[in-house]
Structure 1
Amino acid sequence: MTIRYIESSKLPTPWGIFSMHGFEDTANDKEHVVLSMGNLEGEEPVLSRIHSECLTGDALFSLRCDCGAQLQAAMHRIAQEGRGVIFYLRQEGRGIGLLNKIKAYNLQDKGADTVEANEALGFGADMRDYSILREMLEHLNIHALKLMTNNPRKVKALNDLGVNVVERIAHETGRNPHNAKYLETKKGKLGHLLEGKED
Protein backbone atom coordinates (compact mmCIF):
# COMPACT_ATOMS: atom_id res chain seq x y z
CA MET A 1 0.00 0.00 0.00
CA THR A 2 1.58 3.29 -1.08
CA ILE A 3 -1.08 5.72 0.16
CA ARG A 4 -0.61 6.82 3.77
CA TYR A 5 -3.02 9.00 5.74
CA ILE A 6 -1.19 11.85 7.52
CA GLU A 7 -3.61 14.22 9.32
CA SER A 8 -6.86 16.19 9.12
CA SER A 9 -7.78 19.79 9.88
CA LYS A 10 -10.56 22.30 9.31
CA LEU A 11 -10.55 24.36 6.09
CA PRO A 12 -12.82 27.44 6.14
CA THR A 13 -13.84 28.45 2.60
CA PRO A 14 -16.30 30.92 1.05
CA TRP A 15 -18.76 28.00 0.76
CA GLY A 16 -18.43 26.73 4.32
CA ILE A 17 -16.07 24.81 6.57
CA PHE A 18 -14.65 21.63 5.07
CA SER A 19 -12.45 19.03 6.72
CA MET A 20 -9.14 18.64 4.91
CA HIS A 21 -7.48 15.20 4.99
CA GLY A 22 -3.86 14.81 3.90
CA PHE A 23 -2.53 11.68 2.21
CA GLU A 24 0.98 10.83 1.05
CA ASP A 25 1.77 8.60 -1.91
CA THR A 26 5.04 7.05 -0.79
CA ALA A 27 5.67 5.53 -4.24
CA ASN A 28 6.25 8.92 -5.90
CA ASP A 29 6.38 11.44 -3.03
CA LYS A 30 3.13 13.13 -4.10
CA GLU A 31 0.77 14.64 -1.55
CA HIS A 32 -2.99 14.44 -2.11
CA VAL A 33 -5.85 16.15 -0.31
CA VAL A 34 -9.44 15.15 0.35
CA LEU A 35 -12.01 17.77 1.32
CA SER A 36 -15.10 16.51 3.10
CA MET A 37 -18.21 18.03 4.61
CA GLY A 38 -20.83 16.43 6.81
CA ASN A 39 -21.09 12.86 8.07
CA LEU A 40 -19.85 10.43 5.44
CA GLU A 41 -20.80 7.33 7.43
CA GLY A 42 -23.58 5.00 6.38
CA GLU A 43 -24.76 3.44 3.14
CA GLU A 44 -26.17 6.63 1.58
CA PRO A 45 -24.11 7.47 -1.54
CA VAL A 46 -21.79 10.44 -1.06
CA LEU A 47 -21.87 13.42 -3.45
CA SER A 48 -18.33 13.56 -4.79
CA ARG A 49 -15.87 15.09 -7.22
CA ILE A 50 -12.53 13.61 -8.26
CA HIS A 51 -10.50 16.65 -9.26
CA SER A 52 -7.02 16.48 -10.73
CA GLU A 53 -4.79 19.38 -9.75
CA CYS A 54 -4.72 22.25 -12.24
CA LEU A 55 -2.53 25.05 -10.90
CA THR A 56 -3.29 27.28 -13.87
CA GLY A 57 -7.06 26.88 -13.61
CA ASP A 58 -7.53 26.35 -9.86
CA ALA A 59 -5.15 29.02 -8.57
CA LEU A 60 -4.16 31.28 -11.48
CA PHE A 61 -7.69 31.79 -12.92
CA SER A 62 -6.77 30.48 -16.38
CA LEU A 63 -9.58 30.50 -18.94
CA ARG A 64 -7.83 27.88 -21.10
CA CYS A 65 -9.70 25.12 -19.26
CA ASP A 66 -12.79 24.65 -17.10
CA CYS A 67 -10.97 23.20 -14.08
CA GLY A 68 -11.15 26.12 -11.64
CA ALA A 69 -14.84 26.65 -12.35
CA GLN A 70 -15.51 22.93 -11.88
CA LEU A 71 -13.69 22.86 -8.53
CA GLN A 72 -15.59 25.88 -7.21
CA ALA A 73 -18.91 24.54 -8.48
CA ALA A 74 -18.27 21.21 -6.73
CA MET A 75 -17.46 22.93 -3.43
CA HIS A 76 -20.60 25.05 -3.74
CA ARG A 77 -22.80 22.04 -4.55
CA ILE A 78 -21.44 20.01 -1.65
CA ALA A 79 -21.95 22.93 0.72
CA GLN A 80 -25.55 23.25 -0.46
CA GLU A 81 -26.15 19.57 0.22
CA GLY A 82 -24.21 19.71 3.49
CA ARG A 83 -22.50 16.39 2.78
CA GLY A 84 -19.89 15.40 0.24
CA VAL A 85 -16.27 14.86 -0.63
CA ILE A 86 -13.69 16.17 -3.12
CA PHE A 87 -10.61 14.11 -3.93
CA TYR A 88 -7.92 16.59 -5.00
CA LEU A 89 -5.30 14.50 -6.78
CA ARG A 90 -1.89 15.87 -7.70
CA GLN A 91 -2.02 14.79 -11.34
CA GLU A 92 -1.34 18.07 -13.12
CA GLY A 93 -1.97 18.25 -16.85
CA ARG A 94 -3.86 14.92 -16.98
CA GLY A 95 -0.78 13.37 -15.40
CA ILE A 96 2.12 14.92 -17.35
CA GLY A 97 3.15 17.52 -14.75
CA LEU A 98 3.17 21.31 -14.68
CA LEU A 99 6.25 22.05 -16.80
CA ASN A 100 5.22 19.58 -19.48
CA LYS A 101 1.78 21.16 -19.40
CA ILE A 102 3.37 24.55 -20.16
CA LYS A 103 5.16 22.90 -23.10
CA ALA A 104 1.81 21.48 -24.23
CA TYR A 105 0.23 24.93 -23.93
CA ASN A 106 3.00 26.30 -26.16
CA LEU A 107 2.13 23.72 -28.80
CA GLN A 108 -1.54 24.62 -28.43
CA ASP A 109 -0.61 28.28 -28.98
CA LYS A 110 0.76 27.12 -32.35
CA GLY A 111 -2.45 25.30 -33.30
CA ALA A 112 -2.35 21.83 -31.72
CA ASP A 113 -5.30 20.64 -29.66
CA THR A 114 -4.87 19.37 -26.10
CA VAL A 115 -4.57 15.70 -27.14
CA GLU A 116 -2.20 16.40 -30.07
CA ALA A 117 0.02 18.49 -27.79
CA ASN A 118 0.34 15.75 -25.16
CA GLU A 119 1.08 13.14 -27.81
CA ALA A 120 3.66 15.37 -29.54
CA LEU A 121 5.53 15.48 -26.22
CA GLY A 122 5.51 11.68 -26.04
CA PHE A 123 2.67 11.27 -23.55
CA GLY A 124 -0.70 9.59 -23.74
CA ALA A 125 -3.79 11.76 -23.99
CA ASP A 126 -4.65 11.00 -20.35
CA MET A 127 -1.99 9.63 -17.99
CA ARG A 128 -3.97 9.81 -14.75
CA ASP A 129 -4.08 6.90 -12.30
CA TYR A 130 -7.15 6.59 -10.10
CA SER A 131 -6.06 3.44 -8.22
CA ILE A 132 -4.74 5.70 -5.44
CA LEU A 133 -8.36 6.42 -4.51
CA ARG A 134 -8.93 2.96 -3.05
CA GLU A 135 -7.08 3.59 0.23
CA MET A 136 -8.57 7.10 0.57
CA LEU A 137 -12.10 5.76 0.20
CA GLU A 138 -11.40 2.98 2.69
CA HIS A 139 -9.95 5.44 5.20
CA LEU A 140 -13.04 7.64 4.94
CA ASN A 141 -15.32 4.58 5.03
CA ILE A 142 -17.08 5.58 1.79
CA HIS A 143 -18.83 2.78 -0.08
CA ALA A 144 -20.89 4.49 -2.79
CA LEU A 145 -20.56 7.72 -4.78
CA LYS A 146 -22.73 10.15 -6.68
CA LEU A 147 -19.98 11.45 -8.94
CA MET A 148 -19.90 14.95 -10.42
CA THR A 149 -18.10 14.40 -13.73
CA ASN A 150 -18.44 14.59 -17.49
CA ASN A 151 -15.79 11.92 -17.99
CA PRO A 152 -17.08 8.36 -18.48
CA ARG A 153 -13.51 7.02 -18.23
CA LYS A 154 -13.44 8.23 -14.63
CA VAL A 155 -16.63 6.29 -13.86
CA LYS A 156 -15.20 3.16 -15.52
CA ALA A 157 -11.91 3.50 -13.61
CA LEU A 158 -13.80 3.62 -10.32
CA ASN A 159 -16.02 0.70 -11.27
CA ASP A 160 -12.88 -1.28 -12.16
CA LEU A 161 -11.58 -0.55 -8.65
CA GLY A 162 -14.78 -1.97 -7.19
CA VAL A 163 -16.16 1.46 -6.23
CA ASN A 164 -19.93 1.71 -6.53
CA VAL A 165 -20.78 4.81 -8.62
CA VAL A 166 -24.56 4.89 -8.30
CA GLU A 167 -25.02 8.08 -10.32
CA ARG A 168 -23.07 10.32 -12.69
CA ILE A 169 -24.03 13.96 -12.24
CA ALA A 170 -23.31 16.24 -15.21
CA HIS A 171 -20.83 18.92 -14.16
CA GLU A 172 -20.56 21.52 -16.92
CA THR A 173 -19.42 25.00 -16.01
CA GLY A 174 -16.78 27.54 -17.00
CA ARG A 175 -17.25 27.49 -20.79
CA ASN A 176 -15.76 30.60 -22.44
CA PRO A 177 -14.25 31.66 -25.80
CA HIS A 178 -10.73 30.72 -24.65
CA ASN A 179 -11.58 27.09 -23.87
CA ALA A 180 -14.19 26.30 -26.55
CA LYS A 181 -11.72 24.28 -28.68
CA TYR A 182 -10.37 22.52 -25.58
CA LEU A 183 -13.87 21.45 -24.54
CA GLU A 184 -14.72 20.25 -28.05
CA THR A 185 -11.52 18.17 -28.04
CA LYS A 186 -12.42 16.65 -24.67
CA LYS A 187 -15.81 15.74 -26.12
CA GLY A 188 -14.60 14.49 -29.50
CA LYS A 189 -11.32 12.75 -28.62
CA LEU A 190 -11.63 11.90 -24.91
CA GLY A 191 -15.32 11.02 -24.86
CA HIS A 192 -16.43 13.59 -22.30
CA LEU A 193 -20.20 13.92 -22.10
CA LEU A 194 -20.60 17.62 -22.81
CA GLU A 195 -23.84 19.17 -23.98
CA GLY A 196 -22.67 22.76 -24.23
CA LYS A 197 -25.08 23.72 -21.46
CA GLU A 198 -24.25 24.84 -17.95
CA ASP A 199 -26.12 24.48 -14.67
Structure 2
Amino acid sequence: MTDLADVGPKVEDSAETVERMVETRLPTTYGEFRAVGYLDSRWGHEHVALVYGEVAGTTPLTRLHSECLTGDVFASTRCDCGDQLDAAMRGVVTEGAGVVIYLKGHEGRGIGLLAKLAAMRLQEEGLDTVEANLALGLPVDAREYDVAAQILRDLGIEQVRLLSNNPEKLDSLRRNGISVVERVPLLIAPNEDNLPYLRTKRERLDHLLPHLA
Protein backbone atom coordinates (compact mmCIF):
# COMPACT_ATOMS: atom_id res chain seq x y z
CA MET A 1 0.00 0.00 0.00
CA THR A 2 1.17 3.50 -0.84
CA ASP A 3 0.40 6.47 1.43
CA LEU A 4 -0.34 9.74 -0.33
CA ALA A 5 0.41 13.25 0.86
CA ASP A 6 -2.96 14.71 -0.13
CA VAL A 7 -2.79 18.48 -0.02
CA GLY A 8 -6.54 18.76 -0.37
CA PRO A 9 -9.07 18.31 -3.15
CA LYS A 10 -9.14 20.61 -6.14
CA VAL A 11 -12.79 20.95 -7.02
CA GLU A 12 -13.79 21.34 -10.67
CA ASP A 13 -16.84 23.41 -11.54
CA SER A 14 -19.36 20.84 -12.79
CA ALA A 15 -23.09 20.40 -12.43
CA GLU A 16 -24.45 17.34 -10.71
CA THR A 17 -25.72 15.09 -13.50
CA VAL A 18 -26.26 11.82 -11.65
CA GLU A 19 -29.54 10.82 -10.02
CA ARG A 20 -30.05 7.90 -7.66
CA MET A 21 -32.80 5.75 -9.18
CA VAL A 22 -33.03 2.49 -7.24
CA GLU A 23 -31.51 0.55 -4.37
CA THR A 24 -31.73 -3.15 -3.66
CA ARG A 25 -30.09 -6.02 -1.81
CA LEU A 26 -27.58 -7.93 -3.96
CA PRO A 27 -26.34 -11.24 -2.54
CA THR A 28 -23.20 -12.47 -4.36
CA THR A 29 -20.66 -15.26 -4.00
CA TYR A 30 -18.41 -12.69 -2.31
CA GLY A 31 -20.98 -11.52 0.23
CA GLU A 32 -24.12 -9.41 0.39
CA PHE A 33 -23.87 -5.98 -1.19
CA ARG A 34 -26.30 -3.11 -1.51
CA ALA A 35 -26.70 -2.23 -5.20
CA VAL A 36 -27.45 1.46 -5.74
CA GLY A 37 -28.36 2.37 -9.32
CA TYR A 38 -27.70 5.80 -10.85
CA LEU A 39 -28.64 7.48 -14.13
CA ASP A 40 -26.29 10.01 -15.75
CA SER A 41 -28.51 12.50 -17.57
CA ARG A 42 -25.67 13.64 -19.86
CA TRP A 43 -25.18 10.38 -21.73
CA GLY A 44 -27.96 8.14 -20.47
CA HIS A 45 -25.44 5.81 -18.87
CA GLU A 46 -26.62 3.60 -16.02
CA HIS A 47 -24.03 3.12 -13.28
CA VAL A 48 -24.15 0.99 -10.16
CA ALA A 49 -22.44 1.32 -6.80
CA LEU A 50 -21.95 -1.98 -4.97
CA VAL A 51 -21.81 -0.99 -1.32
CA TYR A 52 -20.62 -3.40 1.36
CA GLY A 53 -21.14 -2.51 4.99
CA GLU A 54 -21.50 0.98 6.42
CA VAL A 55 -19.55 3.54 4.40
CA ALA A 56 -21.18 6.95 4.95
CA GLY A 57 -18.86 9.29 6.82
CA THR A 58 -15.94 6.84 6.64
CA THR A 59 -12.87 6.45 4.43
CA PRO A 60 -13.78 3.23 2.64
CA LEU A 61 -11.76 1.08 0.31
CA THR A 62 -13.11 2.16 -3.09
CA ARG A 63 -12.78 0.82 -6.61
CA LEU A 64 -13.82 2.73 -9.75
CA HIS A 65 -14.27 -0.07 -12.27
CA SER A 66 -14.69 0.61 -15.98
CA GLU A 67 -17.10 -1.76 -17.67
CA CYS A 68 -15.41 -4.46 -19.74
CA LEU A 69 -17.75 -7.03 -21.26
CA THR A 70 -14.96 -9.19 -22.63
CA GLY A 71 -13.06 -9.33 -19.35
CA ASP A 72 -15.77 -9.03 -16.70
CA VAL A 73 -18.34 -11.34 -18.33
CA PHE A 74 -16.49 -13.50 -20.86
CA ALA A 75 -13.32 -13.87 -18.76
CA SER A 76 -11.02 -12.79 -21.57
CA THR A 77 -7.35 -13.19 -20.77
CA ARG A 78 -6.36 -10.30 -23.06
CA CYS A 79 -6.84 -7.84 -20.20
CA ASP A 80 -6.80 -7.86 -16.40
CA CYS A 81 -10.27 -6.33 -15.94
CA GLY A 82 -12.16 -9.41 -14.78
CA ASP A 83 -9.43 -10.33 -12.33
CA GLN A 84 -9.37 -6.77 -11.01
CA LEU A 85 -13.13 -6.76 -10.45
CA ASP A 86 -12.90 -10.08 -8.64
CA ALA A 87 -10.04 -8.83 -6.46
CA ALA A 88 -11.85 -5.58 -5.70
CA MET A 89 -15.05 -7.29 -4.56
CA ARG A 90 -13.10 -9.72 -2.44
CA GLY A 91 -11.05 -6.85 -1.05
CA VAL A 92 -13.95 -4.74 0.17
CA VAL A 93 -15.57 -7.78 1.79
CA THR A 94 -12.30 -8.61 3.55
CA GLU A 95 -12.08 -5.00 4.74
CA GLY A 96 -15.56 -5.24 6.19
CA ALA A 97 -16.81 -2.21 4.24
CA GLY A 98 -16.19 -0.58 0.89
CA VAL A 99 -17.57 0.44 -2.49
CA VAL A 100 -17.15 -0.82 -6.04
CA ILE A 101 -18.53 1.68 -8.56
CA TYR A 102 -19.20 0.02 -11.91
CA LEU A 103 -19.01 2.66 -14.63
CA LYS A 104 -20.93 2.13 -17.86
CA GLY A 105 -19.85 3.81 -21.08
CA HIS A 106 -16.21 2.96 -20.38
CA GLU A 107 -15.94 -0.05 -22.68
CA GLY A 108 -12.61 -0.06 -24.50
CA ARG A 109 -11.42 3.00 -22.52
CA GLY A 110 -14.56 4.77 -23.66
CA ILE A 111 -14.63 3.92 -27.38
CA GLY A 112 -17.38 1.29 -27.19
CA LEU A 113 -17.59 -2.45 -27.66
CA LEU A 114 -17.44 -2.73 -31.46
CA ALA A 115 -14.57 -0.28 -31.70
CA LYS A 116 -12.77 -2.20 -28.96
CA LEU A 117 -13.11 -5.42 -30.95
CA ALA A 118 -11.77 -3.62 -34.03
CA ALA A 119 -8.84 -2.37 -31.94
CA MET A 120 -8.18 -5.93 -30.76
CA ARG A 121 -7.97 -7.02 -34.38
CA LEU A 122 -5.37 -4.31 -35.05
CA GLN A 123 -3.43 -5.50 -32.01
CA GLU A 124 -3.23 -8.93 -33.64
CA GLU A 125 -1.46 -7.17 -36.51
CA GLY A 126 1.17 -5.72 -34.18
CA LEU A 127 -0.22 -2.45 -32.84
CA ASP A 128 -0.44 -1.80 -29.11
CA THR A 129 -3.69 -0.63 -27.49
CA VAL A 130 -2.80 3.05 -27.81
CA GLU A 131 -1.76 2.76 -31.46
CA ALA A 132 -4.87 0.72 -32.30
CA ASN A 133 -7.27 3.36 -30.94
CA LEU A 134 -5.44 6.10 -32.81
CA ALA A 135 -5.43 4.06 -36.02
CA LEU A 136 -9.21 3.93 -35.78
CA GLY A 137 -9.33 7.71 -35.39
CA LEU A 138 -10.48 7.38 -31.79
CA PRO A 139 -9.20 8.78 -28.47
CA VAL A 140 -6.55 6.86 -26.57
CA ASP A 141 -8.73 7.12 -23.45
CA ALA A 142 -12.12 8.84 -23.49
CA ARG A 143 -13.19 7.91 -19.96
CA GLU A 144 -14.31 10.45 -17.37
CA TYR A 145 -14.56 9.85 -13.63
CA ASP A 146 -16.44 12.93 -12.41
CA VAL A 147 -19.59 10.82 -12.22
CA ALA A 148 -17.88 8.58 -9.67
CA ALA A 149 -17.23 11.58 -7.42
CA GLN A 150 -20.92 12.51 -7.61
CA ILE A 151 -21.90 8.95 -6.65
CA LEU A 152 -19.51 8.94 -3.72
CA ARG A 153 -20.93 12.19 -2.40
CA ASP A 154 -24.46 10.80 -2.71
CA LEU A 155 -23.33 7.85 -0.57
CA GLY A 156 -22.04 10.24 2.09
CA ILE A 157 -18.37 9.66 1.24
CA GLU A 158 -15.92 12.55 1.08
CA GLN A 159 -12.62 10.66 1.27
CA VAL A 160 -11.49 7.23 0.10
CA ARG A 161 -8.71 4.70 0.00
CA LEU A 162 -8.56 4.20 -3.75
CA LEU A 163 -7.99 0.72 -5.11
CA SER A 164 -6.33 1.54 -8.43
CA ASN A 165 -3.15 1.65 -10.51
CA ASN A 166 -4.44 4.46 -12.74
CA PRO A 167 -3.24 7.94 -11.69
CA GLU A 168 -5.99 9.62 -13.72
CA LYS A 169 -8.66 8.11 -11.45
CA LEU A 170 -6.92 9.53 -8.41
CA ASP A 171 -6.44 12.96 -10.01
CA SER A 172 -10.04 13.12 -11.24
CA LEU A 173 -11.49 12.33 -7.83
CA ARG A 174 -9.35 15.04 -6.25
CA ARG A 175 -10.33 17.57 -8.92
CA ASN A 176 -13.95 16.76 -8.18
CA GLY A 177 -13.75 17.24 -4.44
CA ILE A 178 -13.07 13.71 -3.16
CA SER A 179 -9.98 13.37 -0.97
CA VAL A 180 -7.82 10.33 -1.75
CA VAL A 181 -5.93 9.57 1.45
CA GLU A 182 -4.30 6.37 0.20
CA ARG A 183 -3.72 4.59 -3.09
CA VAL A 184 -4.01 0.83 -2.69
CA PRO A 185 -2.34 -1.10 -5.56
CA LEU A 186 -4.39 -3.64 -7.49
CA LEU A 187 -1.73 -5.81 -9.10
CA ILE A 188 -2.78 -8.83 -11.12
CA ALA A 189 -0.26 -11.47 -12.18
CA PRO A 190 0.27 -11.17 -15.95
CA ASN A 191 -0.26 -13.96 -18.43
CA GLU A 192 0.98 -14.53 -21.96
CA ASP A 193 -2.08 -12.88 -23.50
CA ASN A 194 -2.25 -9.70 -21.41
CA LEU A 195 1.40 -8.93 -20.79
CA PRO A 196 1.68 -6.61 -23.84
CA TYR A 197 -1.52 -4.85 -22.74
CA LEU A 198 -0.19 -4.34 -19.22
CA ARG A 199 3.18 -3.10 -20.47
CA THR A 200 1.40 -0.53 -22.65
CA LYS A 201 -0.61 0.67 -19.64
CA ARG A 202 2.60 1.09 -17.69
CA GLU A 203 4.81 2.60 -20.39
CA ARG A 204 2.35 4.75 -22.35
CA LEU A 205 -0.47 5.50 -19.89
CA ASP A 206 1.59 5.85 -16.69
CA HIS A 207 -0.23 3.14 -14.78
CA LEU A 208 1.62 2.06 -11.64
CA LEU A 209 2.53 -1.56 -12.36
CA PRO A 210 5.89 -2.21 -10.70
CA HIS A 211 5.33 -5.96 -10.57
CA LEU A 212 5.87 -6.23 -14.35
CA ALA A 213 9.56 -5.45 -13.89
Aligned counterpart in structure 1 of residue 83 of structure 2, from 69, 75, 89: 69
In the alignment, structure 2 segments of 5+ residues that lack a partner are 1-15
Q: Is the 8 A contact 2:66 2:102 kept in 1?
A: yes
Q: Are 1:107 and 2:107 matched, yes or no?
A: no
User: Does residue 14 of the first structure (1) align with residue 24 of the second (2)?
Assistant: no
How many percent identity over aligned positions? 46
Provide the aligned length of Structure 1 versus Structure 2. Answer: 196
Residue 61 of structure 1: how far off its partner (Å) = 0.5
Instruction: Output one character per residue of 1:130-169: Cα deviation in whole Å (capped at 9) or x when no partner.
Output: 1112321121010110001011111111111121000000
What do the CA deviations read for 1:40-97 (whole angstroms, capped 9, x no partner)?
A: 122x311000000000000000000000000000000111111000110011111111
Written as runs of structure 1 = structure 2, the 5 A alignment for 1:34-53 is: 34-42=49-57, 44-53=58-67
Work out which of the residue numbers 182, 185, 188 in structure 1 matches 2:200.
185
Structure 1: stretches of 5+ with no match in the other structure: none
Structure 1 residue ranges, 4+ long, deviating more than 6 angstroms after superposition = none
Match of 1:167 in 2: 182
* Residue aligning to 1:123: 138
Counterpart in the other structure of 2:3: none
Aligned residues of 2:64 and 2:148 also touching (Cα < 8 A): no
- Scaled by the length of structure 2, what TM-score is found? 0.89
Aligned equivalents of 2:163, 2:149: Cα separation in 1? 18
So what's the TM-score if we normalise by structure 1?
0.95
- Where relative contact order (Cα < 8 A, 6+ residues apart) is larger, the structure is 2
The alignment yields a C-alpha RMSD, in angstroms, of: 1.1
2:103 counterpart residue number: 89
